[in-house]
Amino acid sequence: MKKITINETKIRETAKKYGTPFHIYDEKVILDRLNTLISSFDWSEFKEFFAIKANPNPHILKIMKDNNCGVDAATVTEIKLAEEVGFSGEDIMFTSNLTTLEAYKYAVNKGAIINIDYAPDIYELFENGIIPENICFRLNPGSIENEIMGDSKESKFGSTAEQIKNAVTFLKENNISSMGLHTMVVSNENDPKIFGEYTEMLFEFAREIISDYGVEIDFINIGGGIGIPYEKEQVVDVKSISEEVKASYNKVLKANGLESKIFMESGRYITGESGYLVTEIIKEKETYKKYLGVDASMSDLMRPAMYRSYHHLTNIDAEARGEDEFEEYDVIGSLCENNDKFAIDRKLPKSRLGDLIVIHDTGAHGHAMGFNYNGMLRNGEFLYTTAGEVKQIRRDENFEDYTTTIIGGY
């Protein structure tokens, strides 16, 4: 059974003071995952660029800043969030797609590393006088498959090897001979061998580029994609993942007298297990099934509706009562969509109106993917600090927030 790492008394106090639902993150878990990742890759010149999309709250980004990480930004807005926290220059990796000239220009002017999704963009950039100091190309190998990312040949992300080679030739002709390479082909993956396989492919491509074009590959960004154990209480073996990457690095690069910095852009692994969505049972319903209606909805956590993803649920009040009778429920939200379900046919202790349910592993792609369908207002966020205190890091939205961008006169 998965355990809650945050003091349950603090969860109850927060619910009583601020109401439900809300997301809360355990700072200690975040720091533990960061330290594990960084120490596992100590065999290399390594840097973690936290994927802002996983959890864009500036208070969370500040933890990354304080621990010498960079950030991976997908949009200009995410760059601006990073700047608010104090990130600048090469501490920001701009990994976008369908990127406009305006977005490129903003990122280049800020000195960010420009991770180009579609290699032919480089020609348009130069034609318009937008010359990045730090250029990286995103490779789509067309040969890797993963449950969430799917077949890379079907992916909208990245460029073919031939497109990148043509872009490298162009850069060389324009006296640029140092750059980076990147790929991101797995998501929520914990099989160390897969990391070894795709990084060997990426390192081999880097070796080929260096050999054939006489350029320097300053860094290789091996993406993120390290998963978390949503369903079971277990520890992700990041050390074994690192050892597989190291073996590929030694086999392909080191054996040929080459070296490169290693970057990652982990998001889910760093913050996912730190987060919980706390919600209250507000309605019981029985038709052909038994339903527990809660005051959270998929506007607070989209993953179960989008992917049929498993998130462990703990009814902390039923556990406190010592309930030993279990029933099967669908745990549902109130949106006018039938897929607004956190769990289907889930066996839980017999539950009552007013019970607090804690939904686990919501620290990545939880609040970040929230939305306002049906006029649902986005809910607050809290940080459970290493000092054992609860700090509010985002208030609930109100109606004025929801309507502030609407032009009057109706």
Active-site residue numbers?
Answer: 336
> C-alpha dihedral over 40, 275, 384, 38, to 10 degrees?
10
Record the tokens describing residue 258, joined without a space: 């080459």
Q: What is the CA radius of gyration of the chain?
A: 23
Q: Between β-strands 216-221 and 135-138, what pairing exists: parallel, antiparallel or unpaired?
A: unpaired
Nearest-CA neighbor of 363 among 266, 239, 223, 221?
Answer: 266
CA dihedral 87, 89, 93, 97 (to 10 degrees): 110
- Return d(Cα 54, Cα 92) in angstroms, integer: 15
Q: What angle do CA 242, 243, 249 make, to 5 degrees?
A: 90
In this structure, what are the phi and psi dihedrals at residue 71, rounded to the nearest 5 degrees?
-135, 150
Q: Please, what sign has the CA dihedral across residues 123, 125, 126, 127? A: positive
Nearest-angstrom CA–CA distance, 393 and 60? 9
